[in-house]
């Protein structure tokens, strides 16, 4: 895994954080996953340690939880 993965759920704080982080890290280095639209990715995110969104999963496996947008439980339909 060489890219970071940015998990979000479309909330305003997610989108603001997304734009900032994508700009800083570089668009080509970040994969963006919208957990609200792609619920199949929720289990993968949870296993990686994502507890809330927005969160950035770094290439070395650390999860940086950014602000507090929504608990992961709230993204599940």
Strand partners, 4: 30
Pick the piece of the chain touching a second copy (CB under 8 A) from 17-25, 33-41, 42-50, 69-77: 17-25
- Please state the closest distance from residue 5 (CB atom) to a second copy, in A: 12
User: Would you give the distance in Å from CA 67 to the centre of its chain?
Assistant: 12
Distance of alpha carbon 50 from alpha carbon 57, whole angstroms: 8
Q: Which residues is 33 bridged to in the sheet?
A: 7
Is 32 near a second copy (CB under 8 A)? Answer: no
Q: Is 31 in the site for a second copy (CB under 8 A)?
A: no
45 near a second copy, judged by CB under 8 A = no
The residue written with tokens 């994508």 in the block is: 22
**Binding of a second copy at residue 50 (CB under 8 A)?**
no
């Amino acid at each position: 895994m060489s890219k970071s993965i940015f998990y979000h759920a479309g909330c305003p704080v997610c989108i603001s954080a997304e734009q900032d982080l994508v700009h800083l890290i570089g668009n080509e280095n970040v994969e963006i996953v919208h957990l609200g639209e792609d619920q199949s990715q929720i289990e993968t995110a949870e296993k990686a340690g994502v507890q809330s969104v927005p969160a950035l999963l770094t290439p070395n496996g650390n999860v940086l939880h950014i602000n507090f947008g929504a608990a992961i439980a709230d993204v599940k339909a």
